[in-house]
Structure 1
Amino acid sequence: MRILFIGSRLYDDVDYYVRKKGIESILTESNEDAINLDLPDQVFIVPRGMDGPKQIAVTQDVDAVVPLIGIDPPLIQVAKMKEELEEQGIPVIAADVRAVELTSNKINTKQFYKEIGVATPDYQILNSPDDLTLDFPVVLKQGEGQGGKDIRIALNQDDLKEYFEEFSEALCEKFIEGSEISIEVLGFNGEYITLPPIYKGETTLEGTHPLNKVKLGPCLIDGVDNNLIQHTAYKVARNLDSDGIFEMDFMYSHKDNQLYAIEVNTRPNGTRYLTSATCGINSLCELINMACGDFSLKDVLDKMEYYYSTEIPIGNYTGPEINEPVKSFDNNDFVVHGPEGYQRITIRAESKKELENLINDLT
């Protein structure tokens, strides 16, 4: 089995699994100084874009392509490459053009939620501060962007005017006071399975980024039905009707007793370590199973485990040595990830008490 991986930044997350399955790994990367280039069997440095990976996929006669891309801008190019390569019989484990167009633009996503009957916070498109009809506070966003980029919370008209000094249009959304929740869904060949919801903390008027919060898995919030979260996520994924990983963000309003859908990402995401710690399912490894023809809902369910887990920002890790493979929970109770200075530690245990003890030992 020969698989082409696109992008090296996340490759160390799956290298151990690739070797375990005896896969011949080929990787394309546009940055010759990128990390993890020493891990695959072959590496090709190509120009930015998907023309290079597409050519390598054909000339190297690969059996499948697995993009390991954790940012939004290239996703539409990946989706178009998927169409072209799959016409030639080479499967690409990624979202298709329709799914990317619906999810990469927040306005399109809002309209999609409305069409399929999924609750989302009230919103309007503003071309001027004077167009606002929602009550403050409101959340201001651009149609495209990730990681909190270009998102502001406006408490009054002055905040709104300040935002329009930088932008000519805004997606304006009602601010929801409540709990932030993420959930991963795996999809392949029209079948979908939801993994455990993850709690990412409470919303703040300061707009604190989830990376700076302590997260917990599974999501255990008074009044929140995890079955409802999973059912809603499944409904969204089924209507997107595509392959790969879907990470969905929800907000639960304690005041309204309402679950609101916020956005969908069709790429590897920041909660994948916590999801893996909580249930034993590594979503990136499941992409490889899809590429090999080894993916099934029954297999995922059979592998499902149940742990309590948490993820904590630590800056730089200086604790005990981690067992190989260092990015896997197969032989570890904890995994350290992220760049130096911004590292996070994800820890799991079979009970809340054991988790507390591990946290005390490691932090």
Structure 2
Amino acid sequence: MNKGKERTYTILKKRGIKRVLIANRGEIALRIIRACRELGIESVVIYSEDEKDSLTVKFGDKSYNLGKSKNYLDIKKIIKIAKKSGCDAIHPGYGFLSQNPKFARLCEKRKIKFIGPSSRMIEKLGDKIEAKRAMHKANVPILEGVKEDLRSEKQAASAAKKIGFPVIIKASAGGGGKGMRIVTKQEDISNAYQSASKEAINAFSDGSLYIEKYVEEPRHIEFQILADKHGSVIHLGERDCSIQRRHQKLIEEAPSPALDGELRETMGEAAVNAVKAIGYEGAGTVEFLLDKSRNFYFIEMNTRIQVEHGVTEMVTNVDLVKEQIKLAEGAKLAYKQEDIKVEGHAIECRINAEDPSNNFAPSPGTVVNYLPPGGPGIRISSSCHTGCEITPQFDSLIALLICHGKTRQEALARMIRSLDEYIVEGVKTTIPFHKLVMSKRQFSRGNITTSFIENNKIMEELKEIKQKKETLPKDKRVLIVTTAVTQYLAKKQQNNKNKSNPWLMAARQDAMNQSSFEE
């Protein structure tokens, strides 16, 4: 985002928030600290016992030790710290408690402003069945499915037969790809139902499921919206999040190469009308699936700032976190939809501490060398540094690498260059995965769907590359080692010839001096 061209989309007559507790960690916590500082708001950060040397602790105005890492989910403890430190607002970031209605409700009860929608709205949109009912009522297209929670495997089987395969069973309280199972035939319903319910209980403490038609090889398109308390709503264009693995986003871009002006206007208008109809306030994201026939269907609404919000910031020059805070203070939107301008193209790669050649297995450890790329149009959102610990109990995100260009091809060229420049040593990263995706002709052409990784055999190719590096013939390995040793010894011998030993020279001089005295 170009700070010199930053656009302010809201008008705030009187500042209401003076101190914000950031109920999060890592990249997003640092991002919120920066937004608060620019708004003249003090930031209070919380941290676990092994994060006392983190950048968030270093740059936050005040910091409080939470103790164990699990306490990031301890609602009462966080509220207690907020009251103790004199905070009048809490920003939840993304993940953790950001979409927890109980947390928002307790904030409301304790007279602390929750920077996000009301607890009632979070609860309504967090229930996927309830959210679909609300969207259907607002005339937003939804996928065919059961409009209530499933009561049994038998009901799931009956519904699947009626809808027609393939279908997808999903967690009602879910998100982030958890509690989802695609089913292509009747006999797989039972296993899918049981495994999805078990995963949903582990992830959300709620095993409720619903079922709907599964769209094969769609695009995942989401619209960023801002809504004030006065009933005004605008969208800031779309993001294409189609490059996914197991429903987890890996690469995002804006605008989508699949949308023309007419379809963008239609989908954006549907998102805005839906948000107006339900009376939503704050920043949020309306997410759709776009099929091969260019039909779109609502899938969910996220009531928080998204991981990938920086992509929109790069093409609109708006600071979404600052706007989100101002909307929570009661700011009024200053622009109409026709005033919103999207400039250029941006692509984001999520750099994670994972081994893509080993099914994205986590790679915790210490980052012993960290050097991010630079140059025109490059943005790094990260709290990583040399010496940083990547721990297994938290998300493995190292950085969000965002590249902007006047065109998609320029943005892509900058991303390829940046991935080549990026140095992260000590842990394995997803950089090789991103390099491979960027090199594919289909990606360059913008021909991407949620099945891109499978269709282009990305995982297989990554494993082949790894095997080639690891399986050198024995004679070649011996040759490499002996050549290296021979060169090292030869260089050392040459250096010894050319280099005078100061101790030897001193001894010779001393001997000469003694000889002259004897004479």
| TM value normalised by structure 1 | 0.82
Pair 1:201-2:223 in alignment: no
Aligned equivalents of 1:6, 1:314: Cα separation in 2: 23
Structure 1 partner of 2:305 = 268
Structure 1 partner of 2:410 = 354
Q: Residues 321 and 281 from structure 1, CA distance in 2 versus in 1: closer, same or farther, beyond 3 angstroms?
A: same
Q: Residues 299 and 111 from structure 1, CA distance in 2 versus in 1: closer, same or farther, beyond 3 angstroms?
A: closer
Which deviates the most, 180-189 or 343-352? Answer: 343-352
Structure 2 partner of 1:140 = 169
Structure 2 partner of 1:226 = 264
Structure 1 partner of 2:106 = 81
1:142/1:150 contact within 8 Å kept: yes
Q: CA deviation at 1:75?
A: 1.7
Pair 1:307-2:324 in alignment: no
Pair 1:118-2:140 in alignment: yes
1:236-290 per-residue CA deviation (whole Å, 9 max, x = no partner) reads 22233233221221011233x4221100111122321222222222322222333
1:286-336 per-residue CA deviation (whole Å, 9 max, x = no partner) reads 22333566663339998955120112355579765448xxxxxxx852325
Question: What code does the residue aligned with 2:324 have?
Answer: L
Aligned equivalents of 2:398, 2:35: Cα separation in 1: 26
Which deviates the most, 76-85 or 337-346? Answer: 337-346
Alignment of structure 1 residues 86-165 onto 2, 5 Å? 88=111, 90-124=112-146, 125-126=149-150, 127-128=152-153, 129-132=156-159, 133-165=162-194
Aligned equivalents of 2:324, 2:168: Cα separation in 1: 34
Aligned equivalents of 1:170, 1:334: Cα separation in 2: 39
Report SS of the residue matched to 1:15.
Answer: helix
Number of positions where the alignment pairs a residue of Structure 1 with one of Structure 2 = 347
1:272/1:282 contact within 8 Å kept: no
2:311/2:347 contact within 8 Å kept: yes
Structure 1 partner of 2:209 = 170
Aligned equivalents of 2:298, 2:377: Cα separation in 1: 33
Structure 1 partner of 2:30 = 12
Structure 2 partner of 1:287 = 324
Structure 2 partner of 1:334 = 379
Aligned equivalents of 1:136, 1:348: Cα separation in 2: 40
Aligned equivalents of 1:121, 1:38: Cα separation in 2: 47
Q: Residues 320 and 71 from structure 1, CA distance in 2 versus in 1: closer, same or farther, beyond 3 angstroms?
A: closer
Which deviates the most, 13-22 or 56-65? Answer: 56-65
2:170/2:180 contact within 8 Å kept: yes
Report SS of the residue matched to 1:195.
Answer: strand
Question: What code does the residue aligned with 1:351 have?
Answer: T
Alignment of structure 1 residues 242-253 onto 2, 5 Å? 242-253=280-291
Higher helix fraction (1 or 2): 2
Alignment of structure 1 residues 2-41 onto 2, 5 Å? 2-9=19-26, 10-28=28-46, 31-34=48-51, 35=54, 36-41=56-61
Question: What code does the residue aligned with 1:4 have?
Answer: L
Q: Residues 54 and 343 from structure 1, CA distance in 2 versus in 1: closer, same or farther, beyond 3 angstroms?
A: closer
1:72/1:146 contact within 8 Å kept: no
1:66/1:287 contact within 8 Å kept: no
Q: Residues 164 and 355 from structure 1, CA distance in 2 versus in 1: closer, same or farther, beyond 3 angstroms?
A: closer
| TM value normalised by structure 2 | 0.59
Q: Residues 186 and 82 from structure 1, CA distance in 2 versus in 1: closer, same or farther, beyond 3 angstroms?
A: farther
1:192/1:297 contact within 8 Å kept: no
1:333/1:349 contact within 8 Å kept: no
Question: What code does the residue aligned with 1:247 have?
Answer: T
Aligned equivalents of 1:318, 1:236: Cα separation in 2: 44
Percent identity over paired residues: 20
Aligned equivalents of 1:322, 1:208: Cα separation in 2: 31
Q: Residues 345 and 103 from structure 1, CA distance in 2 versus in 1: closer, same or farther, beyond 3 angstroms?
A: same
Report SS of the residue matched to 1:112.
Answer: helix
Segments of 5+ residues of structure 2 without an aligned counterpart are 1-17, 198-206, 354-368, 384-394, 420-519
Aligned equivalents of 2:23, 2:348: Cα separation in 1: 27
Report SS of the residue matched to 1:159.
Answer: helix
Aligned equivalents of 2:99, 2:263: Cα separation in 1: 35
Aligned equivalents of 2:62, 2:397: Cα separation in 1: 30
Q: Residues 209 and 272 from structure 1, CA distance in 2 versus in 1: closer, same or farther, beyond 3 angstroms?
A: same
Which deviates the most, 133-142 or 96-105? Answer: 96-105
1:82/1:96 contact within 8 Å kept: no
CA radius of gyration, larger in:
2
Q: Residues 341 and 117 from structure 1, CA distance in 2 versus in 1: closer, same or farther, beyond 3 angstroms?
A: closer
Which deviates the most, 306-315 or 65-74? Answer: 65-74
> RMSD between aligned alpha carbons?
3.3
